[in-house]
Amino acid sequence: MATMAIYRRRRRMLHHGILIALQLLLVIIVMLPFLWMFSVSIKPANEPFSIPPRLWPENPTLDNYESALYPEFGRYFLNSVIVSVLTMILSISVGLLAAYGFGRFNFPGLRALLIAIILAQMFPIATMIIPLYKIMNSLGLINTYAALVLAYLTLTLPVSIWMLRGFIRNIPPDLEEAAMVDGCTRLQAFWRLVVPLARPGIAATAVWIAVVTWQEFLFALAFTTTRDMRTISVGMSDFQGQFGIRYGELMASSVMVSVPIIVLFFFLQRYFVAGLTAGATKG
Amino acid sequence: MKKLLVLVLAAALVLPVFSLSAIAQEVVTIEFWDNQQSESGLSQYQQAAVEEFEAANPNIKVNVVTVPYTEYQDRLVIAVRGGTPPDVSTVDQIWNYGFATGGAIIPLDDYIAQSEILSQDTFFPGAWDSAAFDGQVWGIPFNIDVWQFTFYNADLLEAAGVDPESLTTWEGLKAAGEALTNVGEGQYGVGLFGHLGEDTVVVMNSFVYSNGGSVLNEDGSCALDQPEAMEALEYLVSLLPYAPEGAANAGSGDMRELFLNGSLAMEWWPALEQPTLLGSDLNWDFVVGTAPEGKTPVGTLGGWNLVIYEQSQHQDEAWQFIEFLTSKDINGKVVDLIPANIEAAEAFLAEERVGPDRILDHLNNARPRPLSPEYLQVSTIEQEMMQALFTGTSVEDAVANACEQINALLEE
Amino acid sequence: MTSTQQTQRLDTVGSRPRRYSPSSDLRLALLFIVPAVVLVAILMYYPMGRAFQESLYTTPKTSWLSVDPSQVYVGLEHYTNLVNDDVFKQVLGNSLKWTVTVVLFQNLIGLAAAVLLDQKLPGRGIMRALVLLPWVLPGVVNAILWRFMYDPQLGLINSLLIGAGITADKTPWLAQPSTALWALIVAAIWKGFPFSTVMYLAALQGVDHEQLEAAHIDGANGAQRFRHITIPAISGIIRLNLLLTTIWTFNYFDLIWVTTRGGPLKSTHIFPTIIYNTGFGEFGNFGKAAAYGVIAVLVLLVFAVLYLRELRRSEVL
């Protein structure tokens, strides 16, 4: 018996060792490009790229960060935050209502409508951009936050509805029914019971929206004109000219652009996974 | 009650407008778009120039909008098609024709005839020609440059015993490429590039021009299948063994990094490259173009023109702004390529560039890319032809394929 | 997720689930969904409809950059031209190769990574956070980074491969028509798999542990348990994930546009890049670009219908 136990423990340790090694391998593959990005960002502008490349420059410096932090950068950053947050608010409020509608009611045609919304995601952006531009222009929205928020809804709203619907379907309807028996209206029940219970789902959806809007480029380019309305993903083009890229500053700004969303995600990922768990395992 | 409120509000909004316009002349705001070149801190000089213009013309305000170069063309197309183009903008020479025939911009002949500031003689002939077609003038040259100068790493050439003057002939350049290449050590002679970009086209064109060839015939049909052009292409392909691997997706910007770290001995750039090189520790210089023995190198012109949009409500004011930007004293302050205004260019080159006389000579001896409303399609076909050549397709096949596509454009 | 719900869910597999006594008030239902429907109709269906209309017209060269171009109705001419066009065939082939490979490997690796990160190992939290980073990295940054990684002389990939003795020469990955698309597929998988990992990680939390234990005691090995208990339990998520990643991968734009612009020799052109290039790069071949767009939607629709049927079957929809 004793030898059996030792054998088993050994096997488990070996097993663990392999798993840990695999995990490390995964993390290395994932992290290597990031490390390199960072290393280019701290390379002095006049230190040429070496062959073969090196993971740590000879004279690391923060100069690239200093010059990448030019005045407009702050403005781009702020614009990105504003647009992301506004998109989040609008997408989630409209999405929650629709998710409730699709999750709780059952009429012929309702499912078809939901499918139609999900499928709208297939439309290629490059095809829609000029018609959308004309809509924005006729509403007088070109070069405003509103144009970007509306355009971003095309990216976020269908998935938001889908995700939130999953969460709402997991909330037992008995609660609302009980509340309505007690004299609540449907809207009140929705607002007082469903919304609070759907909070993990709201958090998960919000994180997803933040990641998507923070990266978006084509709409941000097409629907803004002046530099003070530009978002950070477009602003990064400041480092790319007609005949070349200023790698050091570009990578420095890339690091700075990525850090906030990574930090945000780092803190919220628990909710993200928990939120998805609640909604997504349905089925 | 509500109606009254609306009336009061409307009055409050409208009255000041009336009273203001009664006092002062109406102030007009024009929008000016330019692309943003990352290499230079140009925008602050442009801003200073705009302030100078506004001070001299109190009734005009200028909104400057800069768009990243890589997306400038797309952004202009979206704005024009969406009904909100600027009043005045820069356009790449090679877009000028397409913008004109497409109905985006207006001919400027009447303005030019009445102008006291500028005329055709003010500008380099090659620059002017890029905006003159179909019997009218559709843009005013803003800046100009020429591809290409052969920049070289003087230390590497000396170590290999290569005479820089030899780089001006095809034979000499090839011999130098061979002498300077050691692939095993990561040392390359000459940086060929063939990515999907206009720099691929201008370099190829200048080799064709320098051998007396052309891209298009007078009637717009393909001229790349003429012996002069084919020889030039054959020659470029023969340089492949001395070039860094991966020419088919490399751009002149990638070659810059290799040149800067000393692993590339020679590279082709316009004069615009000088500020970057001056900022490095390299010992560099340049020669003017490369041609077969006995022929003179002919460069390819590049540059930007100023145009006025059809939909603009303030075309007269836009014209005033163009006159200002291209004038002798201002032009040199607001460009990073060479000013298109000849007088301004002479002053600019003397102050900002190494070897101004060599640059001027090459500039005056350069040819534009073909003038055609379908230029962008022609250019794409040329770029893909270079990619085919750099990935092993024979010159005959690549040229035949390209010419077939170019001639099909003509029929459409 | 509580265990009662869990059992309830498992009980209903294969039969129609109990509906939550849906309310029958149509007006109320409309009230909830109208804002979303209106927004999707105006911002998505209307522009796509306009694009479809555009695809039936051609714009003469003399007016393609005016606000009100004088368009000529050509019916399905753009479509018939495309179907006979070699470029179109190449783009279609590239798109399918690209989408199928990226989606397949993104999901396989995503699932494997999720299983790995679901183990009770030291440093699990930090590992999970690190693995998810590529998904959060802005797309344009990712594209520039990978273009640089693949640089034949300066890039990290060649120096690693040569250093490890796998290749001898500096391979120009993005400059050869034979390798460019595959190189970009690798980059897309690297960027995309973490999203699948998050989804699967979430799904794995819902797998019934008691059932796994019971199977273990009955002598089922790890692979058997995974195949017969875990996979069925997360099959809904797998299908949903496949649908979403297929749509997103098919419409991928920034990575290819920044690295190769569809080259060399159109070997990396997929629908979004050819649409963009035709519509903007060539000055207004808008009708043709729109036709490309409509066909792209139709191709994607084939995928989507297959998935949707599966989703319905697994009661996710």
Please check whether residues A97 and A54 belong to one and the same domain.
no
- Give the DSSP per-residue string, C24-77: --HHHHHHHHHHHHHHHIIIIIHHHHHHHHHTTEE--TTTTTSSS---EE-TTH
Structure tokens at C57: 């017209």
- The pLDDT of residue C40 is above 90: yes
Torsion angle in degrees (nearest 10) through CA of A78, A84, A86, A90: 180
Return the pLDDT at B240.
97
- The answer to whether residues A7 and A77 belong to one domain is no
Chain C partners within 8 Å of A110 (Cβ): 29, 33
| Domain-ending residue, one of A30, A45, A61 | A61
Same domain? A34 vs A151 = no
Please give the ipTM for the structure prediction: 0.88
| Poorest-pLDDT segment among A8-12, B118-122, C14-18 | C14-18
Mean pLDDT of C141-154: 91
Q: Do C23 and A186 touch (CB under 8 A)?
A: yes
* pLDDT reported for residue C268: 97
> What is the model's pLDDT at position A74?
87
CA distance B352 to B329: 15
The predicted pLDDT at position C315 comes to 61
pLDDT at residue A263 tops 70: yes
Chain B environment of C287 (Cβ under 8 Å): none
Q: How many CA atoms lie within 13 A of B132 on its CB side?
A: 13
C-alpha distances in angstroms, C278 versus A222, B93, C13, C299?
17, 20, 48, 19
Report whether A264 contacts A210 (CB < 8 A). yes
In this complex, which of C20, C48, C138 lies closest to A214 when CB atoms are compared?
A: C138
Comparing alpha-carbon positions, the chain B residue that sits nearest to A226 is: B65
Phi, psi (rounded to 5 degrees) for B217: -80, 175
Both A90 and A142 in one domain: the answer is yes
Confidence bin at A244 (pLDDT 50/70/90):
low
Q: Would you state the pLDDT for residue C3?
A: 38
pLDDT at B6 over 70: no
Domain boundary residue, one of A61, A76, A100: A61
Output the pLDDT for position C285: 83
Query: At residue C150, does pLDDT exceed 70?
Result: yes
Q: How confident is the model at residue A268 (pLDDT cuts 50, 70, 90)?
A: confident
Q: So what's the pLDDT on residue B18?
A: 45
pLDDT one-digit tens code per residue, B315-372: 999 999 999 999 999 999 888 899 999 999 999 999 999 999 999 999 999 999 998 8
Query: Residue ranges per domain, chain B?
Result: 28-146+302-364, 148-301+373-411
How sure is the predictor about B232, in pLDDT bands with cuts at 50, 70 and 90? Answer: very high
- Longest Cα pair distance anywhere in chain B, in angstroms? 94
| CA angle, B394 then B400 then B406, to 5° | 135
| pLDDT value, residue A12 | 80
pLDDT over 80 (residue B2): no
Hey, is the C-beta of B376 within 8 angstroms of any chain C C-beta?
Answer: yes
Tell me which residue has tokens 């699990």.
Answer: C124
Bridging pattern class, strands A244-245 and A240-241: antiparallel
* B72 reaches A (C-beta below 8 A): no
Separation of alpha carbons A234 and C253, rounded Å: 15
Residue B96 Cα distances to A168, B99, B106, B311, B337, angstroms: 56, 5, 11, 16, 18
Backbone angles phi, psi at B54, to 5 degrees: -65, -35
What DSSP string runs through B12-38?
Answer: HHHHHHHHHHHHSPPPEEEEEEEEE-T
- Whether A239 contacts A175, CB under 8 Å: no
Q: How many CA atoms lie within 13 A of C197 on its CB side?
A: 28
Give the Å distances, CA to CA, from B410 to A157, A254, B371, B381, C81. 46, 45, 13, 13, 17
Average pLDDT on A188-208 reads 89
The stretches of B83-226 forming alpha helices (DSSP H) are 93-101, 109-114, 125-129, 154-160, 170-180, 198-210
Whether B16 shows a pLDDT value over 60: the answer reads no
Q: Which residue has the higher pLDDT, A185 or A150?
A: A150
Top-confidence range, A5-14, B263-272, C160-169: B263-272
Q: Please indicate, yes or no, whether residues A152 and A220 belong to a single structural domain of this protein.
A: yes
**pLDDT category of residue C5 using cuts at 50, 70 and 90:** very low
Task: Name the CATH topology of B148-301+373-411.
Answer: D-Maltodextrin-Binding Protein; domain 2 (3.40.190)
pLDDT of residue C240: 82
**Tokens matching residue B108:** 């400027």
Strand partners of residue B31: B63
Give the phi and the psi of residue B27 in degrees, each rounded to 5: -90, 130
Q: How confident is the model at residue A184 (pLDDT cuts 50, 70, 90)?
A: confident
pLDDT one-digit tens code per residue, C247-303: 999 999 999 998 999 989 999 999 999 999 998 877 768 899 999 999 999 999 998
A17: which chain C residues are within 8 Å (Cβ-Cβ)? none
Quote the pLDDT of residue B17.
46
* A112 lies in the same domain as A73: yes
Averaged pLDDT for residues A164-178: 85
Distance CA A225, CA B33 (A): 9
Rounded percentage of chain B residues whose pLDDT exceeds 90 = 78
- A276/C154: higher pLDDT: C154
| Amino acid present at A221 | L
- From the CB of residue A61, how many other CB atoms can be counted at a distance below 10 Å? 15
Query: Is the pLDDT assigned to residue B42 strictly greater than 60?
Result: yes
Residues A40 and A2 in one domain: yes
Show the domain range for A3: 1-61
- d(CA B32, nearest CA chain A) in Å: 11
Number of A–C residue contacts, CB under 8 Å:
278
d(CA A232, CA A79): 7
Question: Which of A226, A240, A244 comes nearest B68 by C-beta?
Answer: A240
Counting one residue from chain B and one from chain C, the pairs whose CB atoms sit within 8 A come to 113
* H or E stretch at B306: strand B300-308
- Whether residue A236 sits in one domain with residue A206: yes
The shortest CB-CB distance from A122 to any of C276, C292, C301 is to C301
A275 and A202 housed in the same domain: yes
Residues in B 12-71 with any Cβ partner in C closer than 8 A = none
Tokens of A103: 């999750």
pLDDT of residue B25: 65
Q: Which candidate from C65, C175, C281 shows the least CB-CB separation from B246?
A: C175
Chain A: residue nearest C123 by CA? A20
Q: Is the pLDDT of residue A77 over 80?
A: yes
**Residue B247 tokens, joined:** 């020419």
What superfamily in CATH does domain B28-146+302-364 come from? Periplasmic binding protein-like II (3.40.190.10)
Q: What domains appear along chain C, each with residue ranges and CATH number?
A: 88-313 (1.10.3720.10)
Lowest-confidence region among B40-44, B309-313, B391-395, C292-296 = B40-44
The 8-class DSSP code of residue A185 comes to: -
Collect all residues with Cβ–Cβ distance below 8 Å to C156 and sequence separation of at least 6.
A32, A33, A36, A53, C149
A34, A61, A88 — which closes off a domain? Answer: A61
Q: What's the confidence (pLDDT) of residue B350?
A: 95
Q: Do C171 and B78 touch (CB under 8 A)?
A: no
Q: Is a pLDDT exceeding 70 seen at residue B271?
A: yes
Residues A40, A116 within the same domain: no
Comparing CB atoms, the residue among B103, B186, B391 nearest residue C265 is: B391
> What CATH number should be reported for the domain holding residue A255?
1.10.3720.10
Query: Rounded to the nearest 5 degrees, what angle is found at the Cα of C188, between the Cα atoms of C186 and C190?
Result: 70
Torsion sign, CA atoms B404, B409, B410, B411:
positive
> A interface toward B at CB cutoff 8 Å?
45-46, 48-51, 129-130, 133-134, 137, 142, 221-222, 225-227, 234, 237-247
User: Residue B292 and residue B172: Cα distance in Å, rounded?
Assistant: 9
Going by C-beta distance under 8 Å and a sequence separation of 6 or more, which residues neighbour residue C13? C232
A127·C48 Cβ contact <8 A: yes
Q: Percent of chain B, pLDDT > 70?
A: 92
**What φ, ψ does residue A275 adopt, rounded to 5°?**
-65, -45
Report residue C2's pLDDT band, with 50, 70 and 90 as the boundaries: very low
Q: What is the pLDDT of residues C72-91, one digit of tens each?
A: 899 999 999 999 999 999 99
A57 and A71: one domain? no
Mean pLDDT, to the nearest integer, of A104-124? 89
Smallest CA–CA distance, residue A87 to chain C, in Å, is: 13
Q: For the residues of B221-242, what is the DSSP string, one character each?
A: -B-TTSHHHHHHHHHHHHTGGG
Quick check: helix, strand or coil at residue B338?
strand
What is the number of structural domains in chain A?
2
Burial class of residue C177 (count of CB atoms within 10 Å of its CB; 0-12, 13-18, 19+): middle
Residues A10 and A140 in one domain: no
Q: Hey, is the C-beta of B41 within 8 angstroms of any chain A C-beta?
A: no
Contact at CB, B196 and C177, closer than 8 angstroms: no
pLDDT tens digits, C225-237: 888 888 888 888 8
Across all residues in chain A, what is the average pLDDT? 86
Band (C4; pLDDT cuts 50, 70, 90):
very low
Residue in B332, B274, B298 with CA at minimum distance from that of residue B48: B332
In the predicted structure, residue C182 carries a pLDDT above the cut 60: yes
The per-residue pLDDT for C216 is 85
Q: Which residues of B touch A137 (CB under 8 A)?
A: 82-84
- CA dist list (Å): A97 to A190, C28, C315: 9, 11, 22
Chains that touch C (3 or more CB pairs under 8 A): A, B
Identify whether the C-beta of residue C270 lies closer than 8 Å to the C-beta of residue C94: yes
What was the pLDDT predicted at C241? Answer: 87
Which member of A51, A221, A241 has the closest CB to residue B75? A221
A244 with B252: Cβ contact below 8 A = yes
